[in-house]
Amino acid sequence: MTGYAKLRNDLWSNEKMRRIADRHPREFALWVVSISYCSDKLTDGVLSDYAIHRIIGVKPRQLQRMFDLNLWEKHDGIVRVHDYLKTQNSRESIEKNHERKARNQAEYMERIKARDRSYDRSADRTPDRLDDSEMTRENLKPKTYKPKTTKEREEKRPPTPDDVENWEPKPHHYQTAVALADKGYPMVDVTDLGTEFRLSLQAKGLEHYGYRDLDAAFLQWLNKRAKSLRDQRQSVGFGPMSDAPKVKPHRHTWKCPHVLRILRRDEATADPDALAQRCADLLNQGDSEARVLDALGLDESEEVA
């Protein structure tokens, strides 16, 4: 399945892991591959015999070394990646997250359909048909967005790692993607981009980005991704064609290698006689060497002085 496995940011500085990577690079690589496999198959770190020997390709001596290095562990006959669930998401949490996203997506699509039905019902309405009660100054006044004051922004609590873990795209993010698509931008997969956004925050930390409002930050990501996809679409296949070097066709002459080979001559015995000129003309017309020999009345074994 599509997703990401996680490695700690300080893995490169961990003394134990650096020593293993230096002295046992193959086992270190097998450990990384096993994490990727478990994350992809949602095994919660469990490795079957088939996965160990057939998929990951661990040899018997390497298997024992994985246990000795404490990269894998075995309890009650079950092999697991050591401390897998301390750094990776469990199958249960991932499935719940997917269910929540699917539910939010369904609710969003239902709101869109309801809005479209509402538009259809009101398509024929005109200001002349409005009731007196509807002809109020409040209804006729254009609605404007009122930005938050500096005090309101300062009072907003900064996001925490738990906020990042539980964050997901909001309905207005999906609406923004649809609005951008209506303007001609490529449609952005909000769900996938939301996963990328959350994982980037978890990998680099909130301090790296300095975001105080996750929803507003993701809206910025969404707009940038739409513009990036548009630029990629415009650049693919529409650039100026490069001037490919033109290959000049070979012109046979009385002393070219092809004529010399047919007449069984070399550079020392080459001669611009009528036979050589005729041979060159036939080759330039596209005749094969066999047809040239036949036209000249020569045999392949015959040498021409």
Looking at residue 242, its pLDDT comes to 47
Looking at residue 149, its pLDDT comes to 64
Beta carbons within 8 Å of 91's beta carbon, 6+ residues apart: 42, 43, 44
CA distance 279 to 294: 11
Instruction: Give the rounded distance of the alpha carbon of 146 from its chain centre.
Output: 38
Beta carbons within 8 Å of 189's beta carbon, 6+ residues apart: none
Looking at residue 294, its pLDDT comes to 83
Looking at residue 301, its pLDDT comes to 58
Looking at residue 290, its pLDDT comes to 84
Number of neighbours of residue 252 by Cβ within 10 angstroms: 19
CA distance 25 to 8: 18
Stretches in the chain below the pLDDT threshold 70: 1-3, 119-156, 235-247, 300-305
